[in-house]
Structures are given as structure tokens and as C-alpha cells.
């Protein structure tokens, strides 16, 4: 009996040491509607299997825990990390609900819940990024000719409106 335990104990230890693990699964806890959900993590395989494919699933936790969408499969990178982005949009995702992101790499599975919150529109689809990009365009020195033409068009339009309304 003691001999079998001494033989099985190292086998158990080595089988655990050769196991693969998904660690550092990073998914934002609150994802605004119309923004990008980024799933990131590390797949550690002590067997040094570098050709591992990861699958990504998004489940609806409110309606019978069904798969909403399966994202594209991605291979684990050389450093063991994996990455998958997805644009969270309606009607697949509803504001105010929890969803479950599930990652399966090799034989290992990990999951994490995230909440879909209010979209970040200011008004009529205008977002802070949209305003920031427009301001950067107008202030860029390489676009100065465009700005001059735009201001000239505003000046001409204002002159025409003044002449029509105010008369000669």
C-alpha cells in the first residue's frame, strides 16, 4: 500500500504541474452600449503548447442563459496572452442587463460577468470621441486650406442671408 501511494503521489503532482490555466481574465465590469468590449487574459500551459486556439462566447444571463454571439476564435500569442474585441450594440445587447463572457482555451474555461450601461452619446449620436476628432481636424495645421474654405462659405452664406432679409 505504501509503495502505491509513493508512486501515485508524484504522478498526481506532475499531472497538476503540467495543467493549463487561464489567468488574469480582464473584462470591464461596465460596458456602455455602442462601445468596444475587450476580453483579455493569459493562458499558461506548462506543457509549452504554443498553438492553442481560444473561443469566445457572450451569454445572456437574463433569458435562459443562451449564447448571444460567438466571437471569432483567436490563437494564443507567443507570450501566452489572448485578446478579442467586440462592439456592443443594440438590439443584441440591451442596456441595464448583465451578460457573461466565456473564454475557452484548450481544455480550460473561464468566465466573467459584465453589465451593459448607458451609451455615451451627448445628443443625437454625437459622442465625446466624435467632438474630440472634429476639434483635432479643425486645429490641425495641415487642414488650414479646408478651414479657410469653410469659413469663406460661412461668410458668403451669412452675406446672402443678410441681403435677403435686410435688403440692400
* pLDDT one-digit tens code per residue, 56-78: 999 988 777 788 899 999 998 88
pLDDT tens digits along 83-125:
999 999 888 888 888 999 999 998 899 999 999 987 766 666 6
| Verdict on whether the full-model pTM lies above 0.85 | no
Nine-digit cell at 36? 468596444
Going by C-alpha positions, the residue among 46, 47, 65 that lies closest to residue 57 is 65
Domains and CATH numbers, the chain: 20-117 (2.60.40.730), 128-166 (no CATH)
Query: Mean pLDDT for the chain?
Result: 80
Backbone phi, then psi, for 98, in 5-degree steps? Answer: -90, 145
Amino acid at each position: 500500500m505504501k509503495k502505491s501511494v509513493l508512486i501515485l503521489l508524484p504522478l498526481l503532482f506532475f499531472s497538476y504541474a503540467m495543467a493549463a490555466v487561464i489567468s488574469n481574465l480582464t473584462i470591464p465590469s461596465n460596458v456602455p452600449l455602442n462601445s468596444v468590449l475587450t476580453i483579455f487574459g493569459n493562458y499558461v500551459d506548462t506543457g509549452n503548447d504554443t498553438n492553442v486556439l481560444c473561443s469566445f462566447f457572450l451569454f445572456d444571463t437574463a433569458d435562459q442563459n443562451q449564447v448571444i454571439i460567438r466571437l471569432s476564435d483567436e490563437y494564443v500569442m507567443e507570450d501566452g496572452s489572448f485578446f478579442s474585441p467586440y462592439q456592443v450594440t443594440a438590439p443584441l445587447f440591451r442596456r441595464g442587463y448583465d451578460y457573461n463572457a466565456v473564454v475557452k482555451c484548450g481544455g480550460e474555461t473561464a468566465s466573467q460577468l459584465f453589465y451593459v450601461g448607458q451609451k455615451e452619446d451627448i445628443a443625437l449620436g454625437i459622442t465625446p470621441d466624435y467632438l474630440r476628432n472634429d476639434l483635432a481636424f479643425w486645429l490641425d495645421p495641415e487642414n488650414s486650406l479646408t478651414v479657410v474654405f469653410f469659413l469663406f462659405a460661412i461668410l458668403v452664406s451669412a452675406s446672402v442671408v443678410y441681403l435677403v432679409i435686410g435688403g440692400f
